[in-house]
Structure formats: C-alpha cells, structure tokens
Structure 1
Amino acid sequence: MLCSVFAAFFGVQSRRNYLRDFASDSAWLYIIFGLFGAGLFIFIVYLLVLLALSYA
C-alpha cells in the first residue's frame, strides 16, 4: 500500500495497481498514507532549504 501511494505521487503507478487500489473497500488507509507522504515531502524540502541557507 505504501508503494502505491508513493507511486501515485510520482504518477508512475501501473493500471493494474490503480484498479486494485480503487477496488478496495476502505480509502482511509490511502488517505492516511497520502497525508504522511505529503508531510514527509514537505519536511524533506524544509531540510533542504535549511541546508541551502546554511551555505549561503
């Protein structure tokens, strides 16, 4: 499931996995993993900005 969420972030998910994911009964896990992935992405960008500013 985590791989499906990260693949969806990059837009490289296969059609088979896409259909499998949307056939599941609960969307809550995908929402939770999606929010976690978005938060992780924002945190990484924040750290990269801090790193870049420390060298400026």
Structure 2
Amino acid sequence: MSNQDIKWDSITRFLRTEALHLDNRAWDDGVALYEKETEYWVPAWDDDGELTQDPNKAT
C-alpha cells in the first residue's frame, strides 16, 4: 500500500466516522474528532434559500 493510499484510507475513515456521529446526532462525539483549536463552520441558508455570507449574523 502506497503512502498516498494510506492517507486516502485515513481521510475516508475519518469522514465516515464523522458522518456516522452526525447521522446519530452524537454531536459531542463528532466535535471530539477535531482538535480544540479547530474552527468548525456549518453552512447556513437564509429564508430565501441563499447561502449566508456571515454565519454569525445568521444565528
């Protein structure tokens, strides 16, 4: 297995684990996958279906 294959396998495993936590609404487990300093941004849409430019104003 090449180094690139190992990286790809690691990335896909991480994404599958994250998706499983999100699907199960295990929010704390999903957040725990990230480093404490990580900025995690979730896209938000306004009532008109447009992607917001400033997520802080959208909440």
> Which structure has greater helix proportion?
1
Q: TM-score range by the shorter chain?
A: 0.3 to 0.5
Higher relative contact order (CA 8 A, sep 6+): 1
TM-score (ref. length: structure 1):
0.43
Normalised to the residue count of structure 2, the TM-score between the two structures is: 0.41
